[in-house]
Amino acid sequence: MRYFRLATDCYLIEGEVDAAIYDLSRRRLWLLDDRAHALLRRCEDNHPLPDALPEAEQACLDALQEAGAGYFDDRPAYVDKLLLHQPIEMTGIASAPPAFSRADWAITGACDLGCAFCPAGSGDLAWLGCETCLRRAGGAAAPWVPHDLERFAGELELLGVKVLHLRGGNPLLEWDYLQRIVQAVRGSPLGLLISTPGTGQEPERILALCEGGCVRLNVVLFGIREEATRTVCGAGGAQAQAAPLLDAFAGAGIPCYITFLLTADTRADWPEMSDYAVSRWGIRPRAAEIYRREAPPGGRLRHVGEQVKPLRAWQSAEEFFFRVTANPCAHGRFEIGIDGKVRCCPAFEQVCGDVAGDGLRRALAGDSLYDAWALSKNKIEPCKRCALRYACLDCSAFEIAGQSDPAIKAAYCPYDPEPGPARAWERDWGEPDFVLTWRLPDA
């Protein structure tokens, strides 16, 4: 009798209808059709192979062995799968301290634009809205301000925070306060990132603020034509102010970032926007998007390319297991809202603490923030039923976990893990060096 088992660094991950082989060491994802899935499932359950194995199934297993993803044996094999940690969860005094890396801080709700979608409401889905100037609905009338900026910056440094992201609103409208914050962190390991539509100050003043490398600017654009930005922002002049600012940064050789905030009106122009930013400023921009529930049915976020999820290979086995056990996007970060409340990130509504009332350390002492860090796709619907869950880096799933509206789910993900006509192995995922397909012809 012969048997076949996947190698110790290869995992058969199954969804409700589809399955995939995750090859950790060689950083490959094999999508299996139904026949290949059934074959590998029998093998992993240590069922013996028939003496006369069909030619296609024999070729499949031979190819897996040649690729280093499995092996034949003459007896049942019990494989100790690769693990990088003990399957024990330590709590209390045995727990490792939280590894903070980034803090988002909304320092103002003021903005000189009139975007119809801002502040974002409960009916909106913002993809990467945390990287823009998009405000949360229901913010405080007056922003929370720490009593001692230097002490607050020191507390962030002691926590291990590497990046302090200032957002709003438009932080440039709070110019004196912004300068005080910059002064408080100058000379510390904290890097300062400011997200702004680029309006409200002269380029020369902003350049001076960012000299020395301590401060980076993230300029949020809404289009590359003034008429488009006027439609989106409800006011003219945004593009006319932001473009000279970026020209000045490019001329001075000071690095900065560009993020286009797309809407249903500008989504189709994203390729042109990206090419324009590269050709004019030498910067490859990011895309964020706001999606409204009242949008026409069938609308999809631009980031899924109408049909493709953002699948990405893990860079190491450590990263793969991190995806299995945690939220890779939110882990290590927290947001201080304009109301002084702590949340996991600007996209999350759940309050985890109150800096304004309790101070920073006590606000971070509860469990809810760290529960959000540990909210992996193994734990949320519908991702936990999807075979692609450890290859997909779409963070929108965490924001809308638990929502029952199928239109919202369809907006951020074109693939449905439930039974239906569309199957994972039948799609082109746009990552030919990472996502491979194994199809066995019908017997």
Per-residue pLDDT tens digits for 19-67: 999 999 999 999 999 999 999 999 999 999 998 899 999 999 999 999 9
Are 32 and 21 in contact by the 8 Å Cβ rule? The answer is yes
The reply to whether 118 and 251 lie within a common domain is: yes
Q: What is the mean pLDDT of the chain?
A: 85
Torsion of CA 143, 118, 266, 196, to 10 degrees: -10
Please give the tally of structural domains in the chain: 2
Distance, CA of 97 to CA of 159 (rounded, Å): 9
In the predicted structure, residue 108 carries a pLDDT above the cut 50: yes
Confirm whether 257 is domain-assigned.
yes
Q: Give 266-296 pLDDT, tens digit per residue.
A: 888 888 999 999 999 999 999 888 876 655 4
In the predicted structure, residue 161 carries a pLDDT above the cut 50: yes
The reply to whether 37 and 150 lie within a common domain is: no
The reply to whether 157 and 112 lie within a common domain is: yes
Phi/psi region, residue 145 (left: phi>0; alpha: psi -120 to 50; beta: rest), is: beta
Report which residue type is found at 385.
R
Distance, CA of 231 to CA of 222 (rounded, Å): 10
Q: Average the pLDDT over 102-109 and give the result.
A: 95
The percent of residues in the chain predicted with pLDDT above 90, rounded, is: 54
Of 356, 373, 390, which residue constitutes the final position of a domain?
A: 373
pLDDT at 157: 94
The reply to whether 359 and 224 lie within a common domain is: yes
Residue 92 pLDDT level (bands cut at 50, 70, 90): low
Whose structure tokens read 């030619």?
A: 55
pLDDT at 297: 47
Domain range for 48 is 3-83+432-438
Q: Average the pLDDT over 304-315 and give the result.
A: 70
The reply to whether 114 and 201 lie within a common domain is: yes
Confirm whether 70 is domain-assigned.
yes
Are 349 and 124 in contact by the 8 Å Cβ rule? The answer is no
pLDDT greater at residue 259 or residue 299: 259
Residue 80 pLDDT level (bands cut at 50, 70, 90): confident
User: What does the block give as tokens for 60?
Assistant: 């499949």
In the predicted structure, residue 357 carries a pLDDT above the cut 80: yes
Distance, CA of 391 to CA of 22 (rounded, Å): 9
* Backbone dihedral angles phi then psi of residue 219, each to the nearest 5 degrees: -90, 120
The reply to whether 63 and 147 lie within a common domain is: no
Confirm whether 299 is domain-assigned.
yes
Q: What's the pTM value of the predicted model, to 2 decimals?
A: 0.87
Residues 6 or more apart from 415 whose CB is under 8 A from it? 309, 386, 388, 422, 424, 427
Strand 28-32's sheet: what is its strand order? 10-14, 19-23, 28-32, 435-438
Of 337, 355, 373, which residue constitutes the final position of a domain?
A: 373
Count CB-CB contacts under 10 A for residue 180. 13
Phi/psi region, residue 326 (left: phi>0; alpha: psi -120 to 50; beta: rest), is: beta
Distance, CA of 382 to CA of 377 (rounded, Å): 9
* Backbone dihedral angles phi then psi of residue 318, each to the nearest 5 degrees: -60, -45
pLDDT greater at residue 87 or residue 349: 349
pLDDT at 123: 65
Confirm whether 411 is domain-assigned.
no
Are 169 and 110 in contact by the 8 Å Cβ rule? The answer is yes
The reply to whether 7 and 148 lie within a common domain is: no
pLDDT at 225: 79
Q: Give 395-436 pLDDT, tens digit per residue.
A: 878 877 655 566 666 666 766 666 666 688 887 777 778 998
pLDDT at 235: 64
The reply to whether 293 and 326 lie within a common domain is: yes
pLDDT at 337: 93
Closest by alpha carbon to 139, among 120, 126, 125, 123? 120
The percent of residues in the chain predicted with pLDDT above 70, rounded, is: 84
The reply to whether 138 and 281 lie within a common domain is: yes
The reply to whether 196 and 223 lie within a common domain is: yes
Residue 84 pLDDT level (bands cut at 50, 70, 90): low
Closest by alpha carbon to 359, among 343, 332, 340, 372? 340
Confirm whether 389 is domain-assigned.
no
Rounded to whole angstroms, the maximal C-alpha distance in the chain is 80
Q: Give 321-356 pLDDT, tens digit per residue.
A: 999 999 998 999 999 999 999 999 888 888 999 999
Confirm whether 404 is domain-assigned.
no
The reply to whether 79 and 188 lie within a common domain is: no
Distance, CA of 35 to CA of 178 (rounded, Å): 61
* Backbone dihedral angles phi then psi of residue 167, each to the nearest 5 degrees: -145, -175
In the predicted structure, residue 219 carries a pLDDT above the cut 60: yes
Report which residue type is found at 259.
T
Of 333, 350, 373, which residue constitutes the final position of a domain?
A: 373
pLDDT at 233: 74
pLDDT at 433: 85
> Which CATH number covers residue 163?
3.20.20.70
pLDDT greater at residue 162 or residue 304: 162
Q: What is the DSSP string of 330-355?
A: TTTEEEE-TTSEEESSTT-----EEH
In the predicted structure, residue 394 carries a pLDDT above the cut 90: no
Confirm whether 233 is domain-assigned.
yes
User: What does the block give as tokens for 431?
Assistant: 């990552």
In the predicted structure, residue 205 carries a pLDDT above the cut 90: yes
Helices (H), 283-419: 317-325, 355-358, 360-363, 368-373, 396-399, 406-412
The reply to whether 28 and 106 lie within a common domain is: no
User: What does the block give as tokens for 397?
Assistant: 């799933």
Q: Give 234-273 pLDDT, tens digit per residue.
A: 666 677 789 999 999 999 999 999 999 988 788 888 889 9
Q: Give 173-200 pLDDT, tens digit per residue.
A: 999 999 999 999 988 899 999 999 999 9
Confirm whether 419 is domain-assigned.
no
Residue 78 pLDDT level (bands cut at 50, 70, 90): confident
pLDDT greater at residue 93 or residue 150: 150
Torsion sign, CA atoms 269, 271, 274, 278: negative
Distance, CA of 29 to CA of 427 (rounded, Å): 14
Identify the burial level of 367 via C-beta atoms within 10 angstroms of its C-beta, where 0-12 means exposed, 13-18 middle and 19 or more buried.
exposed
